[in-house]
Structure 1
């Protein structure tokens, strides 16, 4: 995984990503089940699904990619494991600068609840990803809240900002 500021391409270390709440692992995409189960147990993940992002597999591909690229947050962590292909998560740090995180096959990333972000594919226009969800005893929750006048007042956003005020 590679990360850098979008405005000047200055590298961002995994320590810097940890500081803003972004966690990451590199797993063997051919033999990941045991390692992934440990992470799922430690972090209370209870649901999985696979998504294929490509023009040939995703209905309304262009429309969906535009939707994914809108700046938004979630009330729960966003967890993605790249099984094949590649993509970018852009995340906002506390002073609103964009950090671009390049994900390739084998990368597992966790974005904290309340963090503004967006997603896009690389020029390959293909990624196969496993989505993992926090175990809420119900159906998986993956509701994006686009950045706007109400998003900053959400409890998850306030809690995320509290974690950043100490860093």
Structure 2
């Protein structure tokens, strides 16, 4: 995992958009925004599955599935889906992703400055985004990712695109309130 300020330079969303002159962000800095990050290496003796099972038990995740995002797996829907994933949105539930293969980027909005923070994820990275955080997702130039999604209840993925309504969404408000001690709210 690598996290840094998104450079906002026009161009393909699948490019790194990284200004190497700026420092990278640490996992501690990401945790200040409510993110949880772990690296659980994919190995051949299935220890990663035990680690995921333990995490699921600790955080009350009851369901999971595996999603492949690629031109081959999604066919004609690929480009449209990638645009949907990259549109700024929030969820009313945590978004939990464990990367099994491939690579991509989660971008989160820094609440006080509104700038994007890009988080590069690859095989073995587990990322938990809190409910109410504005974010988006895209693949990298490899155009492929296989990820396990974990859910507290029935699997669902309902994005709420950023608007004045989502700014007032109770999950958004609760998220910003949870940051007050460490980050000034918008």
| TM surpasses 0.5 | yes
> 2:109 — aligned with what?
92
Q: Where do 4+ consecutive residues of structure 1 move more than 4 Å?
A: none
> 1:123 — aligned with what?
141
Q: Distance in 1 between matches of 2:156 and 2:82?
A: 20
What SS is found at the alignment partner of 1:163? helix
> 1:163 — aligned with what?
178
> 2:6 — aligned with what?
6
Larger radius of gyration: 2
Q: CA deviation at 1:28?
A: 2.0
TM-score (norm 2): 0.85
- Of the three residues 78, 92, 96, the one matched with 2:95 is 78
Spell out, residue by residue over 1:123-146, the C-alpha distance to the aligned partner (whole angstroms, 9 max, x if none).
0000000111113xxx22321000
**More strand per residue: 1 or 2?**
1
- Of the three residues 42, 47, 67, the one matched with 2:84 is 67
Q: How does 1:17-166 map to 2 (within 5 A)?
A: 17-30=30-43, 31=46, 32-59=48-75, 60-95=77-112, 96-135=114-153, 139-166=154-181
Where structure 1 has 5 or more consecutive residues not aligned to the other structure, the ranges are none
Where structure 2 has 5 or more consecutive residues not aligned to the other structure, the ranges are 8-18
What SS is found at the alignment partner of 2:126? strand
TM-score (norm 1): 0.95
Count of aligned positions = 164
Spell out, residue by residue over 1:88-121, the C-alpha distance to the aligned partner (whole angstroms, 9 max, x if none).
0000111211100000000000000000000000
